[in-house]
Amino acid sequence: MNRRAILIVVALIASGVLIAWLYSLKPVRLGASHVMQIITRAHLSLPYAPPPPPEQWQPMSAADRLANVRSRLLPKLHDELAAKQLKLGQPAFIRIFKESREFELWLQSSEGWQLFRNYPIAVFSGTLGPKTREGDMQAPEGFYSVTKSLLNPASSYHLSFNIGYPNAYDLAHQRTGSLIMVHGNKVSIGCFAMTDPLIEEIYLIVEAALNNTSTVPVHVFPFRMTDERLQEESSSPHLDFWQNLRPAHDLFEKDHLVPKITVENGRYQAK
């Protein structure tokens, strides 16, 4: 092995050690996660022609935008779904994990709920914890639903859909704010930005699901709700709220059944 190769190996090992150390430090875990997401984001390559540049896209009508996306994606999207024994129009379910910037898109086939793809979230604003008021620049946490009326193909951020914040729980706790979206681009003010290429695939799948079902549930968690991770947050002011989110998280982890969420006496109930 020559000197250059040795230096490259040493640098890669050092980078891995540094990232592992950053993740061990609670105050910078979110920052380290963001660095890792930037590093790994390029590895999700979708097999479609790229979107038009913004100067061509923005003047398009909503109908023209959707026609453009379908012409570029649908022939191959059907193949992508079929490779996992899935198809367009099946019920959809979204889970978001803020700390690791993961956006899971599940579809329900005759075999049950199947994970179609785990997308990296390009950007969300704020930190771990719920959104509580208008203008706090915070992405929410909790249980939401997308309906057909919340789809926005005329978005200033390529394509978007509203997740339905505030929900009944938020209103019971006098939380304010609105227009929390999943959208394209790489900027966020309380929303979840997925980049233009990724939102196109997500949008078409959510739209197709809503042609056959009334809602697409969206469950937003701060992190994977394990005993160990919650123990690390034992002094957090959000701990009680996060513990209230956990039953729904665990029900799906255990049985891969999307729980029914209600709000009773200001608390989430998952069944």
Decide if 219 is catalytic.
no
- Best CA proximity match to 180, nearest among 148, 138, 209: 138
The catalytically annotated residue of 34, 43, 158, 191 is: 191
Element (H, E) at 140: none
The catalytically annotated residue of 158, 183, 219, 249 is: 183
Alpha carbon distance, N-terminus to C-terminus of the chain = 59
Rounded to whole angstroms, the Cα distance separating 98 from 141 reads 9
CB-based contacts of 225, cutoff 8 Å, min separation 6:
242, 245, 246, 249, 250
Q: Where are the alpha helices (DSSP H) in the chain?
A: 3-24, 29-41, 54-57, 62-82, 168-172, 196-210, 227-232, 239-255
Decide if 191 is catalytic.
yes
Q: Where are the alpha helices (DSSP H) in 83-195?
A: 168-172
Report the 10 Å Cβ neighbour count for 130.
22
Q: What's the burial of 7, exposed, middle or buried (CB within 10 Å: 0-12/13-18/19+)? A: exposed
Query: Which token pair is 86?
Result: 């899935």
Q: Where are the alpha helices (DSSP H) in 53-195?
A: 54-57, 62-82, 168-172
- Best CA proximity match to 29, nearest among 97, 118, 105: 97
Please list the active-site residues: 183, 191
